Amino acid sequence: MRIIAILMILTLSSCMVSQKTFDDKCCKMEEQINALESRCNGMDMKERLLREAIHDLQLKNDTINK
Protein backbone atom coordinates (compact mmCIF):
# COMPACT_ATOMS: atom_id res chain seq x y z
CA MET A 1 0.00 0.00 0.00
CA ARG A 2 2.83 2.41 0.79
CA ILE A 3 4.46 1.61 -2.52
CA ILE A 4 1.31 2.65 -4.37
CA ALA A 5 1.14 5.89 -2.37
CA ILE A 6 4.80 6.64 -3.10
CA LEU A 7 4.29 5.91 -6.82
CA MET A 8 1.26 8.20 -6.90
CA ILE A 9 3.19 11.01 -5.22
CA LEU A 10 6.12 10.60 -7.59
CA THR A 11 3.80 10.55 -10.59
CA LEU A 12 1.97 13.69 -9.48
CA SER A 13 5.18 15.54 -8.71
CA SER A 14 6.62 14.66 -12.12
CA CYS A 15 3.42 15.92 -13.76
CA MET A 16 3.76 19.21 -11.91
CA VAL A 17 7.31 19.65 -13.19
CA SER A 18 6.17 18.85 -16.70
CA GLN A 19 3.29 21.32 -16.41
CA LYS A 20 5.71 24.02 -15.21
CA THR A 21 8.04 23.35 -18.15
CA PHE A 22 5.09 23.35 -20.53
CA ASP A 23 3.83 26.67 -19.14
CA ASP A 24 7.30 28.23 -19.51
CA LYS A 25 7.53 27.08 -23.13
CA CYS A 26 4.05 28.38 -23.84
CA CYS A 27 4.96 31.79 -22.41
CA LYS A 28 8.10 31.96 -24.54
CA MET A 29 6.20 30.96 -27.67
CA GLU A 30 3.49 33.51 -26.92
CA GLU A 31 6.14 36.24 -26.61
CA GLN A 32 7.63 35.19 -29.95
CA ILE A 33 4.20 35.20 -31.59
CA ASN A 34 3.48 38.69 -30.24
CA ALA A 35 6.83 39.94 -31.50
CA LEU A 36 6.17 38.47 -34.95
CA GLU A 37 2.67 39.95 -35.06
CA SER A 38 4.05 43.36 -34.15
CA ARG A 39 6.72 43.06 -36.83
CA CYS A 40 4.13 41.94 -39.38
CA ASN A 41 1.89 44.90 -38.55
CA GLY A 42 4.86 47.23 -39.01
CA MET A 43 5.63 45.69 -42.39
CA ASP A 44 1.97 46.04 -43.43
CA MET A 45 2.05 49.72 -42.50
CA LYS A 46 5.26 50.27 -44.46
CA GLU A 47 3.77 48.52 -47.48
CA ARG A 48 0.63 50.65 -47.29
CA LEU A 49 2.66 53.86 -47.04
CA LEU A 50 4.85 52.85 -49.98
CA ARG A 51 1.81 52.05 -52.11
CA GLU A 52 0.28 55.42 -51.26
CA ALA A 53 3.54 57.21 -52.11
CA ILE A 54 3.79 55.38 -55.45
CA HIS A 55 0.17 56.20 -56.23
CA ASP A 56 0.74 59.88 -55.39
CA LEU A 57 3.86 59.98 -57.57
CA GLN A 58 1.98 58.39 -60.45
CA LEU A 59 -0.77 61.01 -60.10
CA LYS A 60 1.79 63.82 -60.09
CA ASN A 61 3.53 62.30 -63.09
CA ASP A 62 0.25 62.05 -64.98
CA THR A 63 -0.54 65.68 -64.13
CA ILE A 64 2.88 66.87 -65.33
CA ASN A 65 2.65 64.91 -68.59
CA LYS A 66 -0.72 66.44 -69.53
pLDDT (tens digit per residue) in 5-61: 888 887 777 766 677 888 899 999 999 999 999 999 999 999 999 999 999 999 988
pLDDT at residue 17, rounded to an integer: 65
Distance CA 64, CA 53 (A): 16
> What is the spatial distance between Cα 25 and Cα 36, in angstroms, rounded to a whole number?
16
Amino acid at 3: I
Q: Is the dihedral of CA 53, 55, 57, 63 positive or negative?
A: negative
- What does the pLDDT read at residue 30? 95
Domain count for the chain, please give it. 1
Distances in whole angstroms, Cα of residue 27 to Cα of each of 19, 24, 35: 12, 5, 12
